[in-house]
Amino acid sequence: MMQIKRFITHSLGASMVALCVSSSLFAQESDGYNANSIRPIHESDQLYKTRVWRRMDLEEKQNKPFFSTNREITQVMINAVMNGTLYPYTSDSLNERMSKEQFIENLTIPADGPALSEDEIAMGFGQQEEAQEDDGWGGGWGDDSSSSSGQGAEGTAVESSASTSEASASTNNLFYATDVTILEIMEDIIFDKSRGRQYYDIQSVTMILPPEMFPLTGLQKPVATFKYMDLMRVFEENPEIAVWVNPYNDAKHLNLKHAFDLRLFNAHIVKYSNPEDEYIIDKTGGDRRSALMESLNYEYNLLEREHELWEY
Q: Identify whether 300 is part of a domain.
A: yes
How much is the pLDDT for 312?
A: 56
Q: Give mean pLDDT, residues 172-187.
A: 94
Cα–chain-centroid distance for residue 174? 17
Share of the chain above pLDDT 70, in %: 70
Q: For 277, what's the count of Cα atoms within 13 Å in the CB-facing half-sphere?
A: 0
Mean pLDDT over each residue of the chain, to the nearest integer: 79
The most confident of 18-32, 68-82, 144-158, 212-226, by mean pLDDT:
68-82
Q: Under a CB-based contact definition with an 8 Å cutoff, are residues 226 and 86 in contact?
A: yes
Q: Identify whether 87 is part of a domain.
A: yes
How much is the pLDDT for 159?
A: 37
Q: What angle do CA 56, 60, 65 make, to 5 degrees?
A: 90
What is the number of domains present in the chain?
Answer: 1
Can you give the pTM of this predicted structure?
Answer: 0.73
Q: Identify whether 262 is part of a domain.
A: yes
Could you tell me the pLDDT band of residue 110, with boundaries at 50, 70 and 90?
confident
**Higher per-residue pLDDT: 120 or 307:** 307
Q: Identify whether 158 is part of a domain.
A: no
Structural domain range at position 70:
43-98+181-311
Predicted confidence (pLDDT) per residue in 72-93, tens digit:
999 999 999 999 999 999 999 9
How much is the pLDDT for 217?
A: 84
Q: Identify whether 17 is part of a domain.
A: no
Q: Identify whether 19 is part of a domain.
A: no
Could you tell me the pLDDT band of residue 11, with boundaries at 50, 70 and 90?
low
Closest CA to 187 of 206, 205, 202: 202
Task: Kindly report the backbone phi and psi dihedral angles of residue 219, in degrees, each rounded to the nearest multiple of 5, phi listed first.
Answer: -110, 145
Share of the chain above pLDDT 90, in %: 62
Q: Identify whether 142 is part of a domain.
A: no
Q: Reply yes or no on whether the pLDDT at 133 is more than 50.
A: no
How much is the pLDDT for 10?
A: 52
Q: Identify whether 204 is part of a domain.
A: yes
How much is the pLDDT for 309?
A: 77
How much is the pLDDT for 175?
A: 95
Q: Are strands 268-272 and 254-255 parallel, antiparallel or unpaired?
A: unpaired
Helices (H), the chain: 2-29, 73-82, 100-106, 118-122, 128-133, 145-149, 154-172, 228-237, 256-261, 280-283, 288-311
Predicted confidence (pLDDT) per residue in 282-308, tens digit:
999 999 999 999 999 999 999 888 888
Whole-Å CA distances, 72 to 64, 182, 237: 9, 12, 16
Residue 187's SS3 state is strand
Residue 201's SS3 state is strand
Closest CA to 170 of 227, 108, 95, 214: 108
Could you tell me the pLDDT band of residue 216, with boundaries at 50, 70 and 90?
confident
Helix (H) or strand (E) holding 199: strand 197-209
Q: Give mean pLDDT, residues 209-219.
A: 90
Q: Reply yes or no on whether the pLDDT at 212 is more than 50.
A: yes
- Within the chain, what is the greatest distance between any pair of CA atoms? 110
